[in-house]
Structure 1
Amino acid sequence: MAYKALYRKFRPQVFEDVVGQNPITTTLKNQIKAKSISHAYLFSGTRGTGKTSTAKIFARAVNCLQPEDFNPCNQCEVCKGILTESIMDVVEIDAASNNGVDHIRELRENVKYPPSKGSYKIYIIDEVHMLSTGAFNALLKTLEEPPNHVIFILATTDPQKLPATILSRCQRYDFKGVTTKAIIERLKEICSKLEVDAEEEALRIIAINAGGALRDALSILEQCISFTDGKLTEEEVIDTLGLVNHQMIFSLVEAIAKKNTSEAIHLIQKIVGEGKDVQQLIKELVYHFRNLMMAKINVELEELLSLSKEVLEKLQQQSKSFSINGIKEAINILSELEGKAKYAAQPKILLEVAAVSLCIEKQEENVDSLIERVLQLEKKIASGKSAFKETSLRETYSTNIVENPVKKIKTVEKAAEEESLGPEKTEKEEIESSKEEALDFSALKDGWQEVKDFIKRDKKAQVEAMLKEGNIEGIKGNRLIISFKDGYGFHRETLDKEKNKEYIASIIKKVTGQNPKLSFVMEYEINEKQKNNDEEIIIEKLKKVLPEGLLEIVDE
């Protein structure tokens, strides 16, 4: 007898054999029991989840001469004829290769003829979304009102490509991806029947790499069994699939956590040197960082629960070395790299660059990273690692004066020289200022909200969030003064950077037509300056009123 692939050899024969689709199989059995069988069904879902197998079981069940608990007996004449494809009561059509109008016209002619031996004539149309528009239109009338002896079962992996007119004529059943746990249990059963001794961790790796498709899991298992001599180990599965040992992944991520660039590069070279695929390594790193994120936020995912206790403990421990922002950044960098590496001539170099980027300590300018840095400083202070030099302001100034008195004299002389040139300099500035267009403060104030809205629409939410904490104080020459309350010093410093100032000024010009230069200040600076100005005015008035030598000003 010719060799059969495992997924064909162990294809489900009754509804109970279909793994992970209990709601669907129960519904179909109840319909057979109540004799309320529909004329058209649509089975949708990802590959390898049991759509075609369920359709074939259903086709045998409705035609079986001796059903057992509404399952096909697989022993009667009709069941055996369907299994061996010796009777024409069940017709399986591949829509990918029979997708034209002529093929559907031929089908329409054949549905007129009654079944040869069974009660129903079943048409299973696989990958139905591949039919052309004309073929769909030709099928509509037959699908809506087929003869009483005909049942259509449409199977597809892409239901959104089907016309609404087809969807509305069918009972739809969505097949979900098979869980990792269910796949492992099924693989254990098959290994037991094949008399293969398989390690739990080996089957777990196969199940995870199957991606919810049991057929893929069986194909991988078959490949791994061919590589072994009756005992399936974790190392053999890793070698067969070209995966990276999870211990290596843990070590590489640990080096990234410790910002040990040389160790990270060394491990990448070692892994690639062993013949592992760079694309696969990147994929596994993304998956590992995702597991770290889930472990850090205590999400009990089905994939995590299927891991061994030892691996789960390692994930929990390693997740403490990263912040949520750090994990998010790693996933973003590696996901972007995964796309680039497909078309790169030297993907290993790109991975090394990404590793260096992840090892470099970045000082991001956002609120989250600022909070994180403050928390780190608090921890250092609490542990007593930070030592501060306590030097009074008076000591600092006195030291500077004593150390370099000549420099101090020169500075005073220079200031006096500048003061003597002051009127001339001020005159030049006034001439240059008068050449520039005068700013309209009311126009700026009226358009301020529109400026912030424009920045937000321009996907600069961080700039807009900081800018909305500021208030327009007024205009001084050609400068627009924007003040911030106490506690928003970080906002002021960030916006005061040249790049941000130029960007905000350009948006103001677009919205209001004004072209101001920007000055970001703190409110207490304005108040202090106003207070000093008021004191100077009072002192000048007192000097004019009181006799000379009577007024004495004492600094407190």
Structure 2
Amino acid sequence: MSTLYRKYRPKLWSEVVGQNHIKLTLQREIETGRLAHAFLFSGSRGIGKTTLARLVAKSVNCIKRTPDTSEPCGECDSCREITEGHSIDVLEIDAASHTGVDNVRESIIDSARFLPTKNKFKVFIIDEVHMLSTGAFNALLKTLEEPPAYVIFILATTELQKLPETIISRCQRFDFKKVNIEDIVKRLRTIADEEKIKIDKKVLEQIAYRSEGGLRDAEGLLGQIFSMGVKEITEKEASLVLPRSDFSAVAKILEFITQKNLKDALIFLNNLVEEGVDLIKLTEDIIELSRLILLTKLSNELGKLSFAVDEKLLKEIMKFAKIFSVPQLMKIIETFLEQKRHLRASHVPQLPLEMALVTLIPETLSPIAIVEATFTPSQQQVQSEPAPIHVTSKPVLSELETKKEEKKIEKPIEVTASEPTGAPLSFDKIKEKWDHFLKKVQEYNHSLPLILRMSQPVGVRGRAVQICVKYAFHQDKLSELKMRSLAEKAMTEVLGETAFIEVVLGDDKAPVIVQIATEPVAPSTDTLVNDLAAAFGGQVVG
């Protein structure tokens, strides 16, 4: 049993779908007898290049065709042989497997010297001609420029830019366009009716969209669905063949983004994964729908340049166009384009998309509202300050002096943890500047903002900003000297005044408070003093 695209390959000019700008020109040349000696067909795969080449060969060699028409009869020996691929005067050559000079000389140049065996014209159809070597192109030049009167060359390529200008200039060039969605759906409906199979219109639209303008690909997908042996095909049956993803799911994700609802967005995404949705296709659909919204927002006419959408989806597009700004849509497209690159490499399939949602919905990453009430400091806490830590160095010196006799300490050294002293900070100002703070942190470190987006300021204690995190490993990470210093530096620059950082764990009843000074004291030049400070985890004061 032949595949659908071979079974229903157009045998007449009237059956060709799309490419009207090329059909009319070729038909007129055939009717008037003013044919070029060489044609160049360029365009993407599966849009009719080889089909039209065969139709040209059939029309010029059809015995029963009248001079004033271009349609071949399809019944004479010549037409049947060309249709079945048996004609010795119509040679189809795959340049991808015949790339060398010897192949061109044997298959084309030498053969072109002999008259057609049965037909009026000898037609050479060279597919994927861009695959020929430089030597093969040079060998073909002379024959292509001045072929015998009975020879017609038809070159087909998907990569026109790889052809030498000397080849292009010797041919009559035709650029094939992708077939539009409406024409593909009509063609698929005709095939389904011929096969006596009832199929949902939405399934045909999905096939047409996924074919990306290639009719052969669309017919191939339709053939896969027909192979299930079902006489009535709905979206449920088609989902077994077509990658699972639809624009209703994409619209739902965009709706979560507009609502800044990260929790439900992540739950919905993971439910889609459990249902077997193709994540690559889902990502592509998010990008495509965002693009349509962007085009519609810029101009209603631009949105019509894309594929036809149903009325329900069109309403969604118009709704989102009113909600999203142009920068927001650009950010969504850029984010998902970036994360799409990581989908195949990620050991957790949905992780890149989860990261995209976290990036686009940072506001909802705060702890539960009760945390703020739990950790808001009282006035007494604001005023209270921990007592300095006094470390007497004498016992330690007795051991160190044996190694460093010249180093002497005459009085105890006072090492104290930095304290959030001074006038209290404004919590409202901190909340207002929080997004600015996250952006400022990103300038210094790329991993730190990911943790901070999953945290939230919950209060102030003097000049210390209390940041609440959900997980202990986040607390540990923020407590590292390098990370805390960067966070405090960014907070100080954003607020315009000295600020400290205190990290609290959201699930603890009695939060652990970490305090750091924004302006570190210059290190002492005394090695012994530095050793003592490092041993007790403090800093030298004074």
TM-score range normalised by the length of the shorter chain = 0.5 to 0.7
Q: Tell whether the 8 Å contact from 2:11 to 2:83 is kept in structure 1 after alignment.
A: no
- Where 2:323 maps in the other structure, the secondary structure is coil
| Aligned-residue offset at 1:56 | 0.2
Within-5 A mapping of 1:63-212: 63-67=61-65, 69-106=69-106, 107-212=108-213
Instruction: Give the structure 2 partner of residue 371 of structure 1.
Output: none
1:434-513 map, 5 Å: none
Aligned to 2:461: none
Equivalent residues in 2 for 1:381-460, closer than 5 Å: none
Instruction: Tell me, in whole angstroms, the C-alpha distance in 1 between the residues paired with 2:85 and 2:299.
Output: 52
CA distance in 2, matches of 1:351, 1:311: 22
Equivalent residue, structure 2, for 1:344: 346
- Residue 226 of structure 1, CA deviation: 2.3
Aligned to 1:333: 335
CA RMSD of aligned residues (A): 2.1
Question: How many Å separate the matches in 1 of 2:306 and 2:95?
Answer: 38
Mapped pair 1:278 → 2:276 = no
SS of 1:70's equivalent? Answer: coil
Which segments of structure 1 move beyond 4 Å, counting only runs of 4 or more? 302-305
Q: Distance in 1 between matches of 2:363 and 2:294?
A: 19
Residue identity matched to 1:342: R
The answer to whether the Cα contact below 8 Å between 2:181 and 2:308 also exists between their aligned partners in 1 is yes
Partner deviation per Cα, 1:211-256 (whole Å, 9 max, x = no partner): 0000000011111222361122233333421222332222221111
Return 198-207 or 343-352, whichever deviates more: 343-352
- Once the two structures are TM-superposed, the CA of residue 345 in structure 1 deviates from its matched residue by 3.0
CA gap of 1:231–1:303, structure 2 versus 1, over 3 A, is farther
Aligned residues: 365
In structure 2, C-alpha distance between the alignment counterparts of 1:184 and 1:63, rounded to whole Å: 33
Distance (Å, rounded) in 2 between the aligned partners of 1:134 and 1:246: 50
Question: Between Structure 1 and Structure 2, which shows a larger proportion of helix residues?
Answer: 1
Aligned mates of 1:343, 1:261 — CA distance in 2:
24
Tell me by how many angstroms 1:27 deviates.
0.6
Q: 1:40 to 1:305 in 2, by over 3 A?
A: closer
Of stretches 240-249 and 135-144 in structure 1, the one that deviates more from structure 2 is 240-249
Say if 1:304 and 1:80 are closer, same or farther in 2 by CA, change over 3 A: closer
Distance 1:360 1:227, change over 3 A: farther
Q: Aligned partners of 1:115, 1:302: CA distance in 2, in Å?
A: 49
Distance 2:277 2:125 in 1: 42
Whole-angstrom CA distance in 2 between matches of 1:51 and 1:344 = 39
Match 2:15 to one of 3, 17, 26: 17
Cα offset for 1:304? 5.4
Change over 3 Å in CA distance of 1:119–1:302 after alignment to 2: farther
Identity across the alignment (%) = 40
| Cα shift readout 1:180-203 (whole Å, capped 9, x = no counterpart) | 111111111111111111222111
1:306 lines up with 2:296 in the alignment: no
Q: What TM-score does the superposition give when structure 2 sets the normalisation length? A: 0.65
Is the CA contact (8 Å cut-off) linking 1:179 and 1:302 kept in structure 2? no
Does the CA-based 8 Å contact 1:205-1:237 persist in structure 2? no
Match of 2:434 in 1: none
Deviation at 1:84, TM superposition (A): 2.4
How many Å apart are 1:269 and its aligned residue?
Answer: 0.5
Cα distance in 2 for residues equivalent to 1:226 and 1:303: 33
* Inter-partner Cα distance in structure 2 for 1:33 and 1:278: 51
Q: Is the 8 A contact 2:180 2:307 kept in 1?
A: no
Residue 214 in structure 1 maps to residue 212 in structure 2: no
Instruction: Identify the residue that residue 289 of structure 1 maps to in structure 2.
Output: 290
Matching residue of 1:396: none
Q: Distance in 1 between matches of 2:248 and 2:30?
A: 52
More moved, 164-173 vs 30-39: 30-39
The 3-state SS of whatever aligns with 2:309 is coil
- Residue 51 of structure 1 deviates from its aligned partner by 0.2
C-alpha distance in 1 between matches for 2:363 and 2:329: 13
Q: Distance in 2 between matches of 1:350 and 1:326?
A: 19
Q: CA deviation at 1:497?
A: 6.5
How far off is 1:206 after superposition? Answer: 0.7
In the TM superposition, residue 82 of structure 1 has moved relative to its aligned partner by 1.7
* Structure 1 position 303, deviation (Å): 6.3
Q: Quick one: structure 1 residues 304 and 36, their matched pair in 2 at CA, closer, same or farther if it must change by over 3 Å?
A: closer
Inter-partner Cα distance in structure 1 for 2:353 and 2:252: 16
How many Å separate the matches in 2 of 1:305 and 1:32?
34
What is the TM-score when the length of structure 1 is the normalising length?
0.63
Q: Which residue of 1 aligns with 2:54?
A: 56
Say whether 1:5 aligns with 2:3. Answer: yes
Q: In the aligned structure 1, how far is the partner of 2:173 from the partner of 2:160?
A: 10
Between the aligned partners of 1:86 and 1:326, the Cα distance in structure 2 is: 58
**Structure 1 residues 53 and 89: alpha-carbon distance in aligned structure 2, compared to 1, 3 A threshold:** same
Task: Tell me how far 1:288 sits from its aligned partner.
Answer: 1.7
